[in-house]
Amino acid sequence: MDHDFVLTPELVRSSRALLQLSQTELAEKAGVAVSTIADFERGVRVPIQNNLSAIQQVLEQGGVRFTPGGVTLVHELLLCLMSENNAAELHIHYAAEGAPAVQEVVAAFGEVANGEASINAVQSVTADLKAALDALVTKHGRSVPHLHRLKKFIHALRDGEYFLLLPERAASTAEKLERERLLHRLNHPAEPHDADEGARALFGTLLERYDMSSPRTDRPTVIGSKQRAHRQCRFCGGTALNGATFKSVAHAISTALGNDHLKLADECDSCNGHFGREVEPSLIAMLDLQRAFLGIQGRGKNDGRPELRFSEGKIFHDGSKVNVQSRSISRDDATKEISIVLGKGAGMVPVAAYRALVKIALSVVDENQLQYLTKTVEWLRYGKQADARLPTVAAAVIELPPSPSAQITLHVRKSDVSRLPHIVAEFRLGCYVYVYAIPFSDRDSWDLVGFFDDEEFQGTFRHYAAVKRWSSHDLNGQEKVVLIPQLKFVPRSA
């Protein structure tokens, strides 16, 4: 959009006509008074800039495009692709004159007759399909750039592989898992599928009560608005209109925990700096030993792997193994156990570590959940409700596939009629798993202290109950503590 663009009453009236919106409907969507729309269209008064931007954003999201010649309505074709190893959403916007090109795209996957499109949800890769996409990219790639992504997705699949092509994303985690099971059965028809029943027994109740999401960290993923002018910070509410800036790159998970790809666009520079100084260092310090033993790469010297210094020694990972040096090492000749005293290490504030965990969850939670988390954000950003008791964090060591970055999985409760936490987060760093509840949600009726051992929680999160050993971390401390780790190496039994 041209920086000199001015939204006029005539443009608003024309846009409403194209979208068939009443003044009341536009006002509700933009979050302004009906009189604001009515007075503006009559030329009585000009709304404040915040309201003008909100009105423009609603109209543009509806498909209106403002041009020097007036307004035009742009249509959208949504293609949701899913293979066993990948998923993609393609939002193809086009004006009326672009409809023939879009019909050609649809025809590559189905049929178009008399203006009606028919596409099978289940597709398989063929040489003819790849050739058709190559031709479409050559013909329409410049005017429909998303065709390049579509071509890349299909060409990455092997000939004969089944994939899904759907007009909308899965409405729930349960539906997404059903799609995954269907693809697996189609692509592996000779395999027995008894495991499906076991998965339903373990996760069935959880999927009835929660939706799950886990953003990818193995490729560039940006959460939030791509346009800086439209960004609103999740943590302080700041926008460009009230002086907030969004120049720095905000990582949803700290780079010290191996994340370089998952980023949050809707985090202003002020909040980014605050969390980087006051919050995240405590979580990093709490996880220092885990980072070192896993060889997690962040940024800096030694390929970003941490070199931990203590008063009695140090720990570092050289890229192939972990190295421990200490002035106090003892060995029990009878048990063959080796004990290592490292002395004083880094300092941390326990409650800040909890805040860092919650900050990660709030960075990736769906935007529509933030309306219930106002008190959570105030506690996280401004330290309100500092005296409230926080639930403990459950920790366990579980053999899981290795990953170069920390991972976050959110479980968001579907219904309000339950003692189950509104949001349960699972943070994973290699084989180290931490489960915690997001505090102060308006959708919770109690303080969640002891939630992990609650009978209803154990009956819902049965995969956690199946883990034999969980430890409990109380992170309520407000004062800085110095970590003094001691290591004990026990010989493996034969």
Q: What is the C-alpha separation between 357 and 359, in angstroms, rounded?
A: 5
Dihedrals phi, psi of 137, to nearest 5 degrees:
-65, -40
Question: Within this chain, do residues 98 and 130 fall inside the same structural domain, yes or no?
Answer: yes
**Same domain for 91 and 107?**
yes
In a domain, 57, yes or no: yes
Average the pLDDT over 422-449 and give the result.
Answer: 97
- ∠ CA 475-395-378, nearest 5°, is 40
Q: Clarify whether residues 106 and 160 are in a common domain.
A: yes
User: How far is Cα 392 from Cα 218, in angstroms, rounded to an integer?
Assistant: 30
111 occurs within a structural domain: yes
| Tens digits of residue pLDDT in 305-348 | 889 999 999 999 988 899 999 999 999 888 889 999 999 999 99
pLDDT band at 199 (very low <50, low <70, confident <90, very high): low
Q: How many angstroms separate the CA atoms of 430 and 257, rounded?
A: 10
Look at residue 89 and tell me whether its pLDDT is greater than 90.
no
Query: Structural domain of residue 24, as residue ranges?
Result: 9-73
Q: What is the 3-state secondary structure (H, E, C) of 213-277?
A: ECCCCCCCEEECCCCHHHCECCCCCCEHHHCCCCCCCCECCCHHHCCCCEEECCCCHHHHHHHHH
Do 21 and 57 sit in the same domain of this protein?
Answer: yes
At 66 the three-state DSSP class reads strand
Rounded Cα distance between 271 and 233, Å, is: 8
Domain boundary at 120, 148, 169, which? 169
pLDDT of residue 3: 46
Tokens linked to 381: 């950003």
Calculate mean pLDDT across residues 44-67: 86
86 within domain boundaries: yes
- What residue has token string 């219904």? 415
| Co-location of 69 and 83 in the same domain | no
Question: pLDDT by residue (tens digit) across 129-143?
Answer: 999 999 999 998 887
Q: Which two tokens stand for residue 420?
A: 């189950």
Q: Are 403 and 217 in contact (CB under 8 A)?
A: yes
> Are residues 159 and 107 part of one domain?
yes
pLDDT at 69 over 80: no
pLDDT at position 454 is 95
Same domain as 151, residue 101: yes
Measure the CA–CA gap between 337 and 387, rounded to whole angstroms: 42
Per-residue burial over 231-261, b if 16 or more Cβ lie within 10 Å, else e, is bbbbbbebbbeeebebeeebbbbbbbbbbbb
| Residue 56 and residue 84 share a domain | no
**Residue 298 is assigned to a structural domain of this protein:** no
How much is the average pLDDT of 466-476? 95
Mean pLDDT, rounded, for 49-73: 83
Q: What is the mean pLDDT of the chain?
A: 89
22, part of any domain: yes
Q: What is the CATH number of the domain that holds 52?
A: 1.10.260.40
At 345, phi and psi to the nearest 5? -120, -140
For residue 32, pLDDT over 50 is answered with yes
Digit-coded pLDDT (tens) for 226-255: 778 778 999 999 998 889 999 999 999 999
What is the model's pLDDT at position 84?
A: 92
Q: Return d(Cα 317, Cα 96) in angstroms, integer.
A: 59
316 domain-assigned: no
Strands 75-82 and 162-166 turn out to be antiparallel
Residues 101-129 pLDDT 10s: 888 888 889 887 766 667 889 999 999 99
Residue 366 amino acid letter:
D
CA distances from 82 to 180, 185, 339 (A): 8, 14, 50
Does pLDDT of 493 surpass 90? Answer: no
Query: How far apart (Å, rounded) are the C-alpha atoms in residues 173 and 207?
Result: 7
Q: How many domains does the chain have?
A: 2
- The bridge status of strand 393-397 relative to strand 486-489 is unpaired
**120 within some domain:** yes
Q: Do 407 and 428 touch, CB atoms closer than 8 A?
A: yes
The length of the chain, given as a count of residues: 494
Does some domain include residue 313? no
Residue 180 CB partners (closer than 8 Å, separation 6+): 82, 84
- Among 49, 73, 97, identify where a domain stops: 73
Residues 88, 52 share a domain: no
Out of 115, 146, 169, a domain closes at 169
Q: What is the pLDDT of residues 352-410, one digit of tens each?
A: 999 999 999 999 999 999 999 999 999 999 999 999 999 999 999 998 888 889 999 99
